[in-house]
Copies of this chain bind each other. A is one copy, B any other.
Amino acid sequence: MSGKQRTVYAGLVNEKMAGQAITLKGWVQKRRDLGGLIFVDLRDREGIVQLTFSDEFSKDALKTAERIRSEYVISITGVVSLRAESAINPKMKTGKVEVLVHQAEILAESKTPPFDIEDGVDVNEELKLKYRYLDLRRPEMQKGLILRSKIMSSSMRFMEENGFLDIETPYLAKSTPEGARDYLVPSRIYPGSFYALPQSPQLFKQLLMGAGFDRYFQIARCFRDEDLRGDRQPEFTQLDMETSFMNQGEIMELVNRWITQIMSDVVKANIDSNSFPVLHWQEAMDRFGSDKPDLRFGIELHDVSEIMKQTNFTVFTGAIKKGGFVKAIVAPKGATKFTRKMIDGQTDYIKRFGAKGLAWIKFENGEFSGPIAKFVSDVKGQLVSFLSLSDGDLVFFAADTFSVVSDTLGYLRKYVAKELDLIDESKWDFAWIVDWPLFEYSEDFGRWIAAHHPFTMPNEEDLHYLDDGEDPHLAHAQSYDLVLNGYELGSGSIRIHTMDIQKKMLKALGFTSDQAEKAFGFLLEAMEYGFPPMGGIALGLDRLAMLLSGKENIREVIAFPKNSNATEPMTKAPSRVSEKQLAELGLRVPE
């Protein structure tokens, strides 16, 4: 290897260096051979600069340049030179300079890559993952991971400055019920027993509070063996914190300062964390049909049940009679934008939320039109007034249970805003959602489960709902989610810190005493030895990095992600292992 050290990154060469000798190391993006004059675009993690090879500067270097091809790794020494006015490339950060090469060395050759190393390249995802080391060379991938790294260091610094200790918790942990499916790790010493990879460090961080560490922070890997969607991965990373002796408001205030620092350090955004709206869960659901509302635009939900009761439209009145609701959103000036075909497409889509259909009316020239117009003509005046309709508006209705109506219109308001171009993509709209229900009904489990997790503290005034004979699912929790632009960034809560309440909580989840003891006996016992009041939050690093870098898939901000089958196409994990390995673990597997 060349004895000379790099003096500067290629992407950082600038006009002020004119006349200076520099040494660069990087990859050949492009080579143009004009015969006796060769231009090379040299790329490194900071960007691209143009190298110029000519007899005039060095015969040897020119000879070397004749051999190089795309993606060769080279080391060069040369002199920075200002380009002639006519040769300036305003599209390049380094477009005002070139480097006249006096010495050149090939450090590594390259075959022709299976796809071009440039942004926006249209390549099959599997191929990109197989050659991930090539895909990662693309400037936007480099930027995404650099941004992710900055979020981590900004967070570490904030946490240290605020007295938080970085404490690592085990990855070889115990399988516990509740939550998602665990990844298991067979024990060799105790065949038939298994560790579990933790779904979060939740219990360990509570125990660290019990141990008196007062303030804990960890960039923690978490594992869930679930079927994957676009923004899910088998392993993901949380910015995980916990503190003793602080209440919900104090923790939220601390997180506000943390987020402010991240936004300033990472995307140079000056956000006013004092202005984060704090919405009660019920309010968020009522107004936006979502527990993670996108607040960059309006289009709120309106409950028109009282008005619709007066009609004879049985689809609406029937839903109300069953205890449901009729709600509406208005697409301003949407009457012309949304064609019949678009609306039919959405009618199909919303079936996934359990909606049976999509009712709509257009308001044009003072008249309602559309399939249900005739059913609501009697209440036209009330509707126009209640919904503040203007000429050209389109109204969508959903009539069903609270949950179906919320999901349907919560989705549609985003769809409408996108189609009408009402979303200011430059905005960072954070919000806190507080006062969540303690429990939610899970169709998967066929029973009530903890809305956050079984260690979440109920509101003081709701504690009695956990007593015998009361209805626990009426309780609300001391929990708080941080939302950004319609995505849940993180989920936090005050934790239960007394054995008595924890036992009631587990009982409400259907645990017998024996089951509670077997799964969480160590925690219940720990609570008997001076367990302090505590709370915390975990922010999803993958999602935060995705949002701050303007990506739409977390795979873009993970160095080596799994695909949707939880496999990693480059190394081909998972894979078969040897008989010896299985025998040592006492395992038998299907052939």
Contacts and interface: CB of A to CB of B under 8 A. Distances in A.
Interface string A207-241: 11011111000010101010000000011010000
Contacts of A568: 170, 172-174
A217 to B, nearest CB: 9
Interface in A535-591: 558-560, 562, 565-568, 570-577, 581, 584-591
Give how many copies assemble into the complex.
2
A74 to B, nearest CB: 9
A533 B25 CA distance: 10
B214 A44 contact: yes
Interface string A516-534: 0000001000101111110
A159 to B, nearest CB: 9
A167 B145 contact: yes
A498 interface: yes
Given A153-B156, A212-B45, A581-B184, A192 B589 contact: yes
Contacts of A531: 73, 108
B133 A573 contact: no
Contacts of A166: 148-149, 152-153
A57 interface: no
Given A192-B591, A246-B5, A529 B174 contact: no
Interface string A437-449: 0000000000000
A169 interface: yes
Interface in A94-145: 107-111, 113, 131-134, 136-137, 142, 145
Given A172-B235, A208-B136, A530-B71, A190 B567 contact: yes
Contacts of A591: 192
B145 A244 contact: no
B172 A562 contact: yes
Contacts of A172: 183, 223, 234-235, 562, 566, 568, 573-574
A212 B107 CA distance: 13
A219 B112 CA distance: 35
A84 interface: no
A468 interface: no
Contact of A225 (B188, B194, B533): B188
Given A207-B133, A522-B572, A574-B195, A45 B173 contact: no
Contact of A136 (B153, B189, B213, B565): B213
Given A133-B211, A142-B212, A576-B192, A237 B168 contact: yes
A581 B132 contact: no
Interface string A178-198: 000111111111111111110
A175 interface: yes
A568 B174 CA distance: 9
B559 A208 contact: yes
A72 interface: yes
A378 interface: no
Nearest to A9: B214
A1 interface: yes
A108 B530 contact: yes
Interface in A241-279: 244-247, 250
Contacts of A576: 192-194
B192 A188 contact: no
A137 to B, nearest CB: 5
A297 interface: no
A235 B171 contact: yes
A463 interface: no
A531 to B, nearest CB: 5
B207 A168 contact: no
A32 to B, nearest CB: 19
A423 interface: no
B145 A165 contact: yes
B183 A559 contact: no
A575 B193 contact: yes
A560 B210 CA distance: 13
A376 interface: no
A191 B193 CA distance: 18
A43 B213 CA distance: 11
A349 interface: no
Contacts of A195: 573-574
B565 A142 contact: no
Given A132-B211, A153-B160, A574-B174, A565 B529 contact: no
Nearest to A562: B172
A479 B167 CA distance: 31
A287 interface: no
A587 B589 contact: yes
B132 A207 contact: yes
Nearest to A154: B160
A113 B211 CA distance: 13
A204 interface: yes
7 residue pairs, one from A and one from B, having the closest CB atoms: A136-B211, A110-B530, A174-B573, A187-B574, A193-B574, A192-B589, A71-B530
